[in-house]
Every structure is written in structure tokens, then in C-alpha cells.
Structure 1
Amino acid sequence: MRRTDITRDDGTWTGLSVEVEAGRRPGLCLFSAGRRLLLAQQSCPVLLTVVDEDFCGVEFWRTDAYRSPLPPLRAETGRTLAGRPDRWAHRFVQHLLDAPGSPLHDGRWLLSPESPLLRWNHSRRPEAEFWASMLIEGHPDGYIDWFVHSGSWEILPLRPMPDADDSRVKAYRKQARDGTLPPVLLWWVSGLDCHLLLDGHARLAAAIAESAVPPLLHLHRTAPSDEVAAGTEQAVRRYETELARFTELRAAHGHAVPDGAAIAGPDLARRLRDLHTAQRPSWAWPLPGGEEQWRCVAREVTAGRWSGGGGTSG
């Protein structure tokens, strides 16, 4: 396992890149069967989904079996690491690597505070209103609306959100006011076109109750090493070609023509940064038994109460 801190040109920390070589299926694993997905944690069903035939959305059934791969966070830790998303990222990654119920599998991942959700409040709505609108409602069943919310990348909690007067939420509300609230951990899942809330249900509820922007750490899969290597080689060749072109222009027109480094350099840096940070589709493993097995699981965990997606049909 290799960790690499990602920074901007000015040295500002923007994320933690992690290359995982576990050699096994993740403990929190996505299985696919046609338009159907099953999220299981150590073989226990957590979430059942089926995509509409017209691809306008996703019906889901959420069980109460999910357990966070992160241990409870102490208020003292929140005060110590306040304003340090880099230290939180290293801490979270270590827990994810150690936990048996983690979504990490072989490949490269990025954990970053720069979630696209932070850029979606275009109409400048109050923070409580905006973040509440990003939550996908429904328990045990509900619907992820791809038609109305296309591209907004909502948040699907993996267990019911606690109320504002919940004791944990009350404790976190004080931290939200003090600026010491630990980050909320989100996992981007491309097959659902939304974020799954891995850890921080009470912390997110506290931020909403205080109408505050919740600190986030956004987990997603990135390009594998061979793709990064090939892309890096291509970007360097492009950079060298541009410098050679400017050299020819300088030879023909004199030193009034720049050497090209100020133009080609930032472009090279952007391409290299994108190679290490750009999102890649989530992995899902074929479900043994296919759709029939998915229906069997759906009948068992819903006790025949869910009609979504044919989950109770034979």
C-alpha cells in the first residue's frame, strides 16, 4: 500500500492518493446482476437497488445491517485535528485499510475534501436547506431520482439519519459551532450516480441543524497505475513537443518569443494532477446466481414487502 499527498502548485493539500494491493474482494462489496445491484458488508445485505428500465432513476431497499468501518470519534480528537483535513484523511484511510467492512479494493483511490457537492449550491440557499435537499429520503425503501436530480450527485445514507435532538447530534452541534466537527465520509458510487454516506450520519445531521457546511472527505476510485504511467508519458511528450515548437519560433523570430515553459508547464501540471485525481467508474463484482439470486436475497431481506424492481417476483 502506497500513500501520496496531492497538492496544488502553491503547496496546498488537496487530497490523499492511496494505492491498495489487498488481493481480495472488499468487505463492503458491490455485486451486479443486470440492472440490479446488491451492496453487501461481509456477506450481509446492506442495500438492494434496481435501475428503472427507462434509466430515470433507481429504486432501493436499505436494510439495518450496515456498520461503519470507522470507530467512534472523540471530541478531543476533533479539537486536535480541527482544520487539518490532511491528518483526518490519513486517519480515515488507515481505518479503512484495517476494517473488515471497508469498500477499499485493489487499485488507486483518492480521499479529498474537494467534493463536487461543495460547488452545487448555485442559488445560494441556506446551508441547512441545501444539504437537507441533497439527502435521499426513504427507509427502508426509496428512490434515487436521476431525472430531476441528474448530475447533482445526492447523498444516500446507509442507515436512517438521526433527528436533530438525538444525543449524538446535540454533541456534534456544539462541535459544528466551534469549527471542530470531524469530516463526513462519502463514497462516490458511479453505478448509483450518488454518494453513499459511509460514516458521519450524526455529524451531517448536526451540520444541517446548525446550517453549516459539513466538512467532507470524498472517496472515489481513480486511474490505475498503468494508466497513470501511460498518461504521464503522453503528457511529457506533449510538453516536450510544445517546448520544441517554441524553440523553433524563437530561432525564427528572436528572443521576443517566450520559451514556452510558462504556457506548457501549467498544462503539464494540470494533466498530471488530473491523472492522479480524476474519477473512474466504481467496480462491481458479478453476483453469483445473477438476477434470480438477487430476487432471492430481496425476498429474504424484505420479507416480501418490497415490490420495487420485481424484488418479490419469482
Structure 2
Amino acid sequence: MRRTNLTAATDSESWVGLGLELRHATGPGLRPEVADGNRIVLSQGPDAVLLARIDDDRGGVEYSRTDYYRSPVAPLRATEVRALAGGGRPYWYARWAHRFADALEASPLGPLHEGRWVLAREGVTRTGDGPVGPWRSLLLDDHPDGCIDWSTGSRGIMPLRQLRPPDGGRVKAYRKQAREGILPPVLLWWFSGLHCYVILDGHARLVAAVAEDREPAVLVLSRARSEEQTRTGRDKALSDHHLTMSILDGPHPVADREGAARSASHLLATQLHRLEVDYAPTRAWPTQRT
């Protein structure tokens, strides 16, 4: 698997994500399957871990989880967590991204398949009601059954297994790490078929962070645009930039030409960056189940 460190659009020293490219055809262990245009099954090996049905009016989806989900990431040892200390800093996210990429590449239980992916530093939009307010409002923890209302436009966060209680043994250990500022990131996967994130690894870590009223650190795995899509978008962004600069350099005076040129360059950098990190649709397969 080829890896590329991705930096911020306007700061080449700030790490924001890890580009992954799988050249060889691989069948993912965790894969969405579809049937009849409105039924979705999330399968992991021979097991169905989630069953969903899209509403006829396409306004939302009802789902049910089965408790068969298994994380593609082995349990994290306390010694490893402390060795990778540096919570919240870009290099800390980068270390954990490579650690998760190693696990996803080696595991037969994860969603990776041939193509381009991004494992990026992300955060839930703040709503002003505290560091974990958005997590409490977006967490789809109505286990095992629930529904997502797409008309609200919100991107929920779905556990793939029942969450542990805040006073459980493993959660208590993670709560201590949260207080120390070394709690590892939660690993999410963008699942466009449900228009939500699902938790690949870190169910207990998420509970621990929320219990300690701390915003969880997050890394999000998503499919990336294809090379052709990226190239087309890059060519258009560059063409638009060249057109803007030709106008600024033309015979007619432009107020604050230097400021306008800086803005145009910033826009170009942002557009090129988004081409690298924006989510692409999740791939699905025909269902093998009746």
C-alpha cells in the first residue's frame, strides 16, 4: 500500500491526513451490499453486522445492528499509547494514522479495497454547547434499532456494537488516559450509503472521552476521488486561476492587485487541497443474501 502524507492547504508543515493507495484488487472484509435499490447490508466476512432499509421517499433510513461486528484494529496496549504521546498535535495524529493504516492493511476485517483512500484528521462541528455536545447529539446509540432522518442534513455517528457503560472496566482505563491527554483517536469510516460515520475502532474510547466531557480526537477513513477525477478537478482549478491572474495582469487597473492575487492563490491552494481530502462515495456490492 502506497502512503502519502497530506498537509494543510496554506501550511505545508501542518499534517492533516494520510493518502492511501491500494494497487492490487482486494475484497474487503467489511463491505456494504445493496439490493432492490433500497436495502443495505453491511457484511463482515460471513456475518451481517447491520441491516438497513431506505425509506420509499428517500427521506431517511431505518437500520438494525446485530452485535457481530469485530474491530479490524487489535486492542491498544497502554505502553503503546504512552509511547505515542503528544495528544492533539499534528504529528500525534500522523503517528496514529500510520498505526491504523498498518492495522487496516493487515486485517481481513476492514473496509479497504483497491483504489485511493484518505485517513484524515477530522472534528465534529462545534455547536456552542460544550466540547462534547455535538457528539451527544449526533451519536446514534439507540441500540440495536434506529433510524436516520436525512432531511435534517446532519451526519450521525453510528456505533457498530453496543456501547459500554461509562463505569465499565475498559472505559475506566480509557477515562484515565483522557484525563492525562493521551487517549488515542477514535477511528471512523465515512459510509455514504447511510450518510453517516460508523465507528471502526474506539467505541470504548468514545464513551470515555464523552464521560470526561472532552472532545474525542478523531481520524476518518474515506474513499478518495479517482486519479481521473482529481486530474480533471486540478486542471479546472488551474485554468480558473490562470484566467484570474491574466485579468489581474491585464491592461485595466485593479484595486489592490496584490491582495486580489493573494486571495486567488489561497483559493487555488484550498481547491487543490479539497481534491485530495474530500469524501468520495462508498463503494457497494450486490448482496449475496436472501
Counterpart for residue 76 of structure 2 = 73
Q: Which aligned runs of 4 or more in structure 1 are off by greater than 3 angstroms?
A: 126-130, 252-261
Q: Which runs of 5+ in 1 are unaligned?
A: 297-314
Deviating more after overlay: 212-221 vs 76-85: 76-85
DSSP 3-state at the match of 2:48: strand
Measure, in 2, the Cα distance between the counterparts of 1:259 and 1:126: 37
Counterpart for residue 2 of structure 1 = 2
- Are 1:35 and 2:38 counterparts? yes
Counterpart for residue 88 of structure 1 = 96
Decide which of 107, 115, 140 is 1:99's aligned counterpart. 107
1:246/1:128 CA distance change after superposition, 3 Å: closer
Counterpart for residue 26 of structure 1 = 28
Measure, in 2, the Cα distance between the counterparts of 1:128 and 1:254: 47
1:145/1:263 CA distance change after superposition, 3 Å: closer
Residue 259 (structure 1) shift: 9.8
Contact 2:248–2:254, Cα closer than 8 Å, also in 1: no
- State the TM-score, normalizing by the size of structure 1: 0.83
Counterpart for residue 229 of structure 2 = 227
1:1-314 residue pairs with structure 2 within 5 A? 1-8=1-8, 9-10=10-11, 11-33=13-35, 34-82=37-85, 83=87, 84-115=92-123, 117=124, 119=125, 121-122=126-127, 124-147=128-151, 150-249=152-251, 253=253, 257-258=257-258, 261-288=261-288, 293=289, 296=290
Measure, in 2, the Cα distance between the counterparts of 1:50 and 1:151: 18
DSSP 3-state at the match of 1:12: strand
DSSP 3-state at the match of 2:281: coil
DSSP 3-state at the match of 1:248: coil
Measure, in 1, the Cα distance between the counterparts of 2:254 and 2:19: 43
Q: Deviations over 1:233-288 (max 9, x none)?
A: 22222222222222223xx5599854964233212211110110111211111224
The one-letter code of the counterpart of 1:146 is: W
Structure with larger Rg: 1
Q: Which runs of 5+ in 2 are unaligned?
A: none
Measure, in 2, the Cα distance between the counterparts of 1:257 and 1:185: 44
Measure, in 2, the Cα distance between the counterparts of 1:229 and 1:255: 33
How many aligned positions are there? Answer: 282
Measure, in 2, the Cα distance between the counterparts of 1:89 and 1:40: 24
- State the TM-score, normalizing by the size of structure 2: 0.90
Contact 1:243–1:260, Cα closer than 8 Å, also in 2: no
Higher strand share: 2
Contact 1:246–1:259, Cα closer than 8 Å, also in 2: no
1:260/1:42 CA distance change after superposition, 3 Å: same
Measure, in 2, the Cα distance between the counterparts of 1:130 and 1:277: 22
**What do you get for the CA RMSD once the two structures are aligned?**
2.1
Residue 43 (structure 1) shift: 2.6
Contact 1:246–1:258, Cα closer than 8 Å, also in 2: no
